[in-house]
């Protein structure tokens, strides 16, 4: 498969630890759990993706459900989802009165895939400009999108604990050699920080729990010695710049577990 095909697919898709702490199955036995969101919640980047939404049992949501045996588990997260997709498709499918809801959303709205594509194929200056374009969207348009999404979740599940998880910084910036220049890596990470800060602000305003995964991914970005994220991936191309199995197990799952405990 050519590099161009891989990048086109990227745009269109937008050793595991055994000691991760978790709530006991008894504590979760009566919990109705719903996993909403985009590819970072569906499990893209990990083995075993299936269906149009590319859901994987290695996703943090599926792993939490397996470890904790909730009363019900609705896995509604879907690769490529934007806030409008959560509003139009995922929230309406939610079981009314859910007790626990988790979500990652906003990255596709802010242009994650087109930004990465631009940075892979263009100059440092063009990459930085594209990241700044995304930052402007996050500052001016995304807050309203998140507000509408969070309102819909609260209305559908008024008594639920809602956990909004962050995105990681994609790139390691200590490695001298990488598939992107240092300028591009820092620009993309800066864009991720801006996005996460806005998501945290809006989630907190709604009384939701913000679960920050960035600390868990520190030292494990793309090009690190032990990355928790995939770099540019040929087969399957949608795995590019998404967490690998370790990323979900050691990065995302502990953050959800801590937020729920």
Residue 39: active-site member:
yes
pLDDT higher at 26 or 66: 66
pLDDT digits (tens, 9 = 90+) for 61-73: 999 999 999 999 9
Cβ neighbourhood burial of 226 (10 Å; 0-12, 13-18, 19+): exposed
Instruction: Delineate the domains of the chain, giving CATH numbers in brackets.
Output: 3-260 (3.40.50.1110)
Catalytic-labelled residue, pool 41, 59, 102, 242? 242
CA distance 102 to 87: 15
- Does 187 score more than 60 pLDDT? yes
pTM, rounded to two decimals: 0.90
Catalytic-labelled residue, pool 39, 56, 59, 79? 39
pLDDT higher at 25 or 21: 25
172 CB contacts (<8 Å, ≥6 apart)? Answer: 178, 185, 219, 220, 221, 222, 223, 224, 227
Mean pLDDT of 180-196: 98
pLDDT higher at 149 or 29: 149
> Do 232 and 184 contact (CB within 8 A), yes or no?
no
- Does 6 score more than 50 pLDDT? no
Q: What is the mean pLDDT of the chain?
A: 91
pLDDT digits (tens, 9 = 90+) for 128-185: 999 999 999 999 999 999 999 999 999 999 999 999 999 999 999 999 999 999 999 9
CA distance 174 to 217: 14
Predicted confidence at residue 30, as pLDDT, reads 87
> Do 249 and 45 contact (CB within 8 A), yes or no?
no
């Amino acid at each position: 498969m050519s590099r161009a095909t891989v990048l086109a697919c990227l745009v269109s898709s937008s050793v595991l630890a055994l000691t991760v702490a978790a709530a006991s199955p008894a504590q979760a036995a009566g919990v109705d759990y719903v996993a909403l969101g985009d590819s970072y919640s569906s499990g893209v980047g990990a083995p075993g993706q299936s269906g149009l939404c590319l859901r994987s049992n290695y996703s943090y949501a599926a792993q939490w459900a397996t470890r904790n045996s909730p009363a019900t588990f609705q896995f509604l997260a879907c690769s490529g989802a934007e806030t409008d997709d959560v509003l139009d498709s995922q929230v309406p499918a939610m079981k009314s009165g859910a007790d626990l809801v988790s979500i990652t959303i906003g990255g596709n709205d802010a242009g994650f895939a087109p930004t990465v594509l631009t940075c892979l194929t263009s100059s440092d200056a063009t990459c930085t400009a594209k990241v700044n374009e995304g930052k402007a969207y996050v500052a001016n348009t995304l807050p309203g999108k998140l507000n509408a999404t969070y309102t819909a979740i609260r209305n559908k599940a008024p008594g639920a604990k809602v956990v909004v998880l962050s995105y990681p910084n994609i790139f390691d910036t200590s490695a001298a050699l990488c598939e992107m220049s240092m300028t591009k890596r820092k620009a993309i990470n800066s864009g991720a920080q801006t996005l996460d800060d806005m998501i945290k602000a809006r989630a907190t305003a709604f009384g939701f729990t913000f679960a920050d995964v960035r600390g868990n991914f520190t030292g494990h970005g793309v090009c690190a010695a032990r990355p928790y994220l995939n770099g540019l991936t040929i087969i399957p191309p949608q795995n590019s710049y998404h967490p690998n199995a370790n990323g979900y197990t050691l990065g995302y799952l502990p953050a959800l577990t801590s937020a729920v405990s």
